[in-house]
Amino acid sequence: MSEFLFLYRGGERPAGTPEQMQQTMQKWISWMNELQAKGNLKERGVPLEPSGKIVRGKDKQVVDGPFAEAKDVVGGYSIIEAKDLAHAVELSMGCPILAIGGDVEVRPALKM
């Protein structure tokens, strides 16, 4: 098994009633529990705030970030174990962010 990073990008922020927000959260919990039950979830990760700072280059310039376009903002991450990249992509297909127009970036972790 190899490790992969799932980066959750974009998507419409859950809005509405507390009940609707709870339903959205329950979809994430169910999906994560399913990955864990299959032995594919190494680390749940955490959701990230949409704001932050970027430190750039040799001059260590600090700028507002993370990105200009909301669709590119990383909203969170998880670390997954899968047989290969194709298997990791298959596992990402159940992610609830896809239903709200977001993306899952699937990246192999470099073995060092």
What is the total count of domains within the chain? 1
- Enter the pTM of the model: 0.84
Determine the pLDDT at residue 59.
Answer: 93
Rg (CA), the chain: 16
Which residue range is the domain that position 98 belongs to?
2-108
Determine the pLDDT at residue 14.
Answer: 61
- Give me the residue label for tokens 């709200």: 100
Q: For residues 53 and 112, give the distance between their C-alpha atoms in angstroms, rounded to a whole number.
A: 28
Determine the pLDDT at residue 57.
Answer: 92
- Token pair, residue 56, equals 């750039």
**pLDDT tens by residue, 62-74:** 988 766 566 677 8
Can you list the residues of the chain whose pLDDT is less than 70?
Answer: 13-15, 66-71
Q: For residues 67 and 82, give the distance between their C-alpha atoms in angstroms, rounded to a whole number.
A: 30
The CATH number covering residue 55 comes to: 3.30.70.1060
Judge contact between 6 and 77, C-beta under 8 A.
yes
